[in-house]
Structure 1
Amino acid sequence: MLEKQINEMRENVDIGIESENRKEVVGILNTLLADEYVLYTKTRNYHWNVVGKDFKERHEFFQEQYEKLDEMIDEIAERTRQLGGLSVATLNEFIQIANLKENPGEYPSDIKMISNLLKDHESTIKFLRKSAKDCDEEYNDSGTNDFLIGLMEIHEKMAWMLRTHLD
């Protein structure tokens, strides 16, 4: 059922990308959307639950990060709609298709929080890099290729910021 919803497309979108290719790209975007939502939720969780001597700095840092992720989530859902697809939009759907996983019941130290987020950003960067290439070379969608590269660059900066907290 979820697969059918993800692949449901409006056939009257005539932007020079074949319907089957748009379906594949929509699948990529929905997986990315789910991953971003898991990462957003983790970051928000850490914002709420961070403790320690660097509380204020970490609390504000996590807020900056989840606010950026929130913007990206909206842009990904809108790109999906631009291609004629439907955006997954429930927690259940996100968990079903996300590559990233939650860690329920875990309340790690602030350094472990940062390390966990860094790992997720790096995983997302790898997914974006492969997906951008696929969009360009396999699906003839240079627009989504460019869009994904822009998101990858944002994640690379966010990962760098996280990494600086670990040095």
Structure 2
Amino acid sequence: MSIRNAKELKTASLQTPTDLKSDAIRDISGALNILLADMFGLYLKTMNFHWHMAGPHFRDYHLLLDEQGDQIFAATDAIAERVRKVGGTTLRSIGHIGRLQRILDNDADFVTPMDMLAELRDDNKQLTANLRETHGLCDAYGDIATASLLENWIDEAERRTWFLFEATRQRE
């Protein structure tokens, strides 16, 4: 490959053919990138708590968070690929994630198991609301395919919220 060919590739357009209008591409890919940043933030927090879990329910909570982390991570590639399918570009770095994510990090040296689960419960509940908001945006632009994927991710986030809620419920 010549230097000239390499320079041409560097500036080649990434425009994916789509029937969506430019404002739909901008708004949907922007919303999906924010969700993607949230998913990466939630994934890392879930795994942080998975790695630092302690106490008498260690095994159960450790396995629960491992399962949830796998599910969250699995969604990241599908979200990023959806951004590309609709004609947008997606996240490029950890810094980009940090600028967009709404899920707050937890860098505490120690967090109790109940606080870990409660924080993740609340994060997943907030993620569900954000997913619903993006679903509404996709509906407004007639992007049925993205809306359909969002419905699955909403269901998954609701299930995670439910499991975390039940795990943190006080005895009655």
Q: Same fold (TM over 0.5)?
A: yes
Per the alignment, do residues 106 and 120 of structure 1 end up closer, same or farther by CA in structure 2, a change over 3 Å counting? Answer: farther
What is the aligned partner in structure 2 of residue 75 from structure 1? 78
> How far apart, CA to CA, are the structure 2 residues paired with 1:101 and 1:117?
10
> How far apart, CA to CA, are the structure 1 residues paired with 2:105 and 2:89?
24
> How far apart, CA to CA, are the structure 1 residues paired with 2:152 and 2:82?
13
Map 1:4-15; keep pairs closer than 5 Å: 10-14=14-18
> How far apart, CA to CA, are the structure 2 residues paired with 1:12 and 1:156?
32
* 2:60 equivalent among 57, 60, 70: 57
Instruction: State the 1:12 CA deviation.
Output: 4.8
> How far apart, CA to CA, are the structure 2 residues paired with 1:115 and 1:125?
15
- What is the SS of the residue equivalent to 2:155? helix
Query: What is the TM-score of this pair, normalised by structure 2?
Result: 0.86
> How far apart, CA to CA, are the structure 2 residues paired with 1:89 and 1:44?
21
* 2:165 equivalent among 158, 163, 166: 163
* 1:149 equivalent among 140, 151, 154: 151
RMSD: 1.4
What is the aligned partner in structure 2 of residue 66 from structure 1? 69
> How far apart, CA to CA, are the structure 1 residues paired with 2:16 and 2:148?
23
Corresponding pairs, count: 157
What is the aligned partner in structure 1 of residue 129 from structure 2? 126
Per the alignment, do residues 99 and 84 of structure 1 end up closer, same or farther by CA in structure 2, a change over 3 Å counting? Answer: same
Contact 2:16 2:86 in 1 (8 A): no
Gap regions ≥5 residues in structure 2:
1-12
**Deviations 1:106-149 (CA, angstroms, capped at 9, x unpaired):** 42111100000001000000011111011111x22121111112
* 2:22 equivalent among 1, 16, 19: 19
Instruction: State the 1:97 CA deviation.
Output: 0.6
> How far apart, CA to CA, are the structure 1 residues paired with 2:88 and 2:58?
41
* 2:111 equivalent among 108, 111, 131: 108
> How far apart, CA to CA, are the structure 2 residues paired with 1:119 and 1:17?
34
Contact 1:11 1:19 in 2 (8 A): no
**Deviations 1:40-69 (CA, angstroms, capped at 9, x unpaired):** 000000010011011111111110010111
Which stretches of structure 1, 4 residues or longer, exceed 3 Å deviation after superposition?
9-12
Contact 1:128 1:152 in 2 (8 A): yes
Contact 1:21 1:140 in 2 (8 A): no
